[in-house]
Structure 1
């Protein structure tokens, strides 16, 4: 019973930390696609809801990848036939963050992505290279080994935040704020 109480308390603390970012404007970030096209967040996505997934360690990148297929199927893949009018009009970006000494690995990571990731997903992957402190402070990145997800409204304000490996409950919550 004590273990369950500790787990629940840990869950409350982790969600309350992320809850503090709700209502804040997402901090400016310049990232680039595999083709080296610059994307300025949130500036370039204003006018439309946006789902961002960020990861800044190898382990968190693996968990970030667990979101690729479900997010692709839910928000990116175009529905056809009877469901063609029921899609979401939302920007989606997965952003591996390369900071410190790892920043030099950005080019290698891009080449690896072009080789190993489904070409349909590549336009939705951005690479950030730079410092981390601003984002850790502004976005309450508590743990380096998990990815963080933010839903931005059309003005670039954070309206939902979650973290960790993909679960149906997390996807349902993301979908709930987008509806």
Structure 2
């Protein structure tokens, strides 16, 4: 019983820290596609709901990748047969963040993505190069080894936040917010 109480408290503490970011405007971020096209968040996605996944370490990038296929199937894939009437109209971007000395690796990461990532997914990957501190503070990044996900409303305000490796429960929560 004591362990259950501690687990519940830990869950409440992790949720409360994330609840501090909901309701806030997503901080300005300039990122690039693999073709070096600039995308300004949230400015360029306003008018439509947006799901953003951010990662700033190799380990967190691996967990970010666990979301690629399920998110592609749920929100991006156009030909779903009978399920096409249930399609979502949502922007989706996965954003590996290159900061500090790792910023120099952005070009290499883009070339690797072009070579190794399904071409259908490439338009949904943005590369950020720059300072981490403003995002760490504004978005409450606690652990560098996990990815963070944010659902923005049509005005760029954060309406849902989650983190970590993909789970069906997390996807259900994201879907509930988007419906």
Shorter-chain TM-score tier: over 0.9
State the distance in 2 between where 1:83 and 1:148 align.
Answer: 28
State the distance in 2 between where 1:56 and 1:4 align.
Answer: 32
**In the TM superposition, what whole-angstrom CA distance separates every residue of 1:12-38 from its partner, at most 9, and x where no partner exists?**
211111110111000000000000000
Aligned to 1:67: 67
State the distance in 2 between where 1:80 and 1:51 align.
Answer: 20
**In the TM superposition, what whole-angstrom CA distance separates every residue of 1:48-99 from its partner, at most 9, and x where no partner exists?**
0000000000000000000000000000001344322220000000000000
Number of equivalent positions: 179
Contact 1:79 1:85 (8 Å CA) reproduced: no
Give TM-score, length-normalised by structure 1: 0.97
Query: Could you say what secondary structure the match of 2:85 adopts?
Result: coil
Please report the RMSD computed on the Cα atoms of aligned residues, expressed in angstroms: 1.0
Pair 67,80 (structure 1): closer, same or farther in 2 beyond 3 Å = closer
Aligned to 1:137: 137
**In the TM superposition, what whole-angstrom CA distance separates every residue of 1:104-138 from its partner, at most 9, and x where no partner exists?**
00001111111111110000000000000100110
Asked if 1:9 corresponds to 2:9, the answer is yes
Asked if 1:97 corresponds to 2:97, the answer is yes
Contact 1:52 1:95 (8 Å CA) reproduced: yes
Structure 2, unaligned stretches of length 5 or more? none
State the distance in 1 between where 2:75 and 2:164 align.
Answer: 19
Contact 1:113 1:122 (8 Å CA) reproduced: yes
For 1:29-44, what aligned pairs fall within 5 Å after superposition? 29-44=29-44
Aligned to 1:169: 169
Aligned to 1:154: 154
Give TM-score, length-normalised by structure 2: 0.97
State the distance in 1 between where 2:31 and 2:111 align.
Answer: 16
